[in-house]
Amino acid sequence: LALYGFMCEWLQVPDNRSLLYRFLDLKARAIRWYEKPAEAYFVTQRDRLDALMPSEEDADTAVDAVAAVARFLAEEVDRVEAAIFSMPEKGHYLPSLFAGEAASGGGSDTCGPMVLDD
């Protein structure tokens, strides 16, 4: 409950809501454009995000967890924006951020349609 309360307080700040929205919007675009490799990347990031959450209801831990989530989201927004809006390497369309996921079974950067509708 302590973490829930701090997250609700965090979400009351417009800049924090905007950050969360940007993260979710970038995630949706990346998955729409790059499909399986992007999905695999965001599954990995979800695991990292889950690891930031405390397993106990300690108020001090909850405050630290909320701050860590904010840092995580800000870093991910910057990282994903840079990756999906940069020119790809010659001969590839898949951003290098997702290439590791493609190599580990998340897909290939040379197959499937590339949909650019936004």
Q: What is the pLDDT of residue 106?
A: 45
What average pLDDT does the segment 40-57 reach? 83
- The predicted model scores a pTM of 0.74
Question: Which pLDDT tens digit goes with each residue over 22-42?
Answer: 999 999 999 999 999 999 999
Q: Residue 2 — pLDDT band, cuts 50, 70, 90?
A: low
Question: Which pLDDT tens digit goes with each residue over 52-111?
Answer: 876 656 556 777 778 888 899 999 999 999 999 988 778 778 998 998 765 555 444 444
Whether the pLDDT of residue 9 is over 90: the answer is no
Q: What is the pLDDT of residue 59?
A: 57
Q: What is the pLDDT of residue 5?
A: 72
If DSSP states are collapsed to H, E and C, what string results for the chain?
A: CHHHHHHHHHHCCHHHHHHHHHHHHHHHHHHHHHCHHHHHHHHHHHHHHHHHCCCCCCHHHHHHHHHHHHHHHHHHHHHHHHHHCCCCCCCCCCCHHHHHHHHHHHCCCCCCCCCCCC
